[in-house]
Structure 1
Amino acid sequence: MIELRTPAEIEQMRPAGAFVAEVLAATAAAARLGVNLLELDALAHDLIRRRGAESCYIDYHPSFGASPFGKVICTSVNDAVLHGLPHDYRLQDGDLLTLDFAAAVDGWVADSAVSLVVGTPRDEDLRLIDTTRRALAAGIQAAQPGGRIGDISAAIAAVAHAEGYSINTQFGGHGVGRTMHGDPHISNDGRAGRGYPLRPGLVIAIEPWFLETTDEIYTDRDGWTLRSADGSRGAHSEHTVAITEDGPLVLTAP
């Protein structure tokens, strides 16, 4: 079911958005050479406790997950692009890391993701990350009241296709509110003018993610981490956005 939020409820969601942005900034700053992914998860967990927030991940067990996630942040490295389960791995020079974090504050959820390179970057990785960021900006700009979900999808796809990337449509954006994942689904490819109307009060996560040379993925043996079928690297950018009478409002802006 698609729920629309009142202006007062959107204001109540701001603390969750600010907290998610804070945690992503802190974990991104901590992601240095030699740092263990489990240390990043522990940092996020500590920040949740200090804030009195609630993890959206630790008990999360959808149909596509092998078991409850058990951690509080997704850490996807190199050929992993989504749902990266933190494990005993120390970051190495040149690793492409995606951090994806969602949490609830006072019962309201926000969700966001960033990709970055640890140490010495490859030009190909910087281009891939930049493309996801520009696609996210285009998707947000297209999230105008009176438009359609397809406007967002088409805007994202135009940026990706211009750079020669193909698009996987199995996973994409989604509604956000009292829970992390709700309707509507927001594909990263689609046709403008189609789909659910963008009405004021709709709160969604917009999240373009692309792989360097494929659009096919598989699930790692850990039962969660999604990796590229050909070993190429992936990047992912995401914000929680509210549709308002005045246009899109990014709740997870740094």
Structure 2
Amino acid sequence: MNENFQLKESFYREDFVDPIVGISFLLVFLFLVFTLYNFREYVKTILLSNISIKSFTEVKSVESNKNKKASLWLNLFFLMVLSMMGYSFIISETDYTSSLNHFEKLFTSICVVGFLFVFKYIFKKALGIVFRKEYLTSISYTHLSIKDKVFGLIVFPFLVIYNFSLPLKEISLIIIVLISCFYLFLRWINTFLVGIKDGNVPYFYSFLYICTLEIIPVIIALKVFSKPILSILA
């Protein structure tokens, strides 16, 4: 009897994460609820924009203050989701951060994601100014921003399942990986097409741009962090 109780108790304890992570997920969820409640029409349009040309055109054309606020909130939500992904799959599994507690690991993930996002945004803006392609940079950012928002909205539920449901941990990880691969593929294709159609950029330079700013960083990240990610499935 005592043995069964101990096994049952250990199973339930393993099924839950550190309290600071649980609180973080709760705050992100409340942030999402707030955004959905106040900007439900914009969120609906964003979700449909990937399958409907009309909705995509509407997102680009309507620049009301409310839509700008909604876009900002969803961008923040996307960064939160990336931070939680970084913590769940990379930061908490690497030897470099083994001496840190859960709060420090989560804070590290947030700082790294925030820094990379700001750095990449500034770098792309600078490239647009140097090559006099500010308009093209703006269009590309709009297209990619829509995909970022949708990615965050779709992945978050599976990220919650991964962290809080031990029986579904592996299947949720596989789903997250598949969604992430498809998301990256869409980003690369979109960037390539925007450069050709809207910027009259030669095929070679569009491909070179994607390799330099999109594909190579992902390959490096996979090379560095593939071990901790694969260890989750082991």
Larger radius of gyration between Structure 1 and Structure 2: 2
Higher helix share: 2
Q: Note whether the superposition's TM-score is higher than 0.5.
A: no
Q: TM-score, normalised by structure 2?
A: 0.30
Higher strand share: 1
Higher RCO, Cα 8 Å, sep 6+: 1
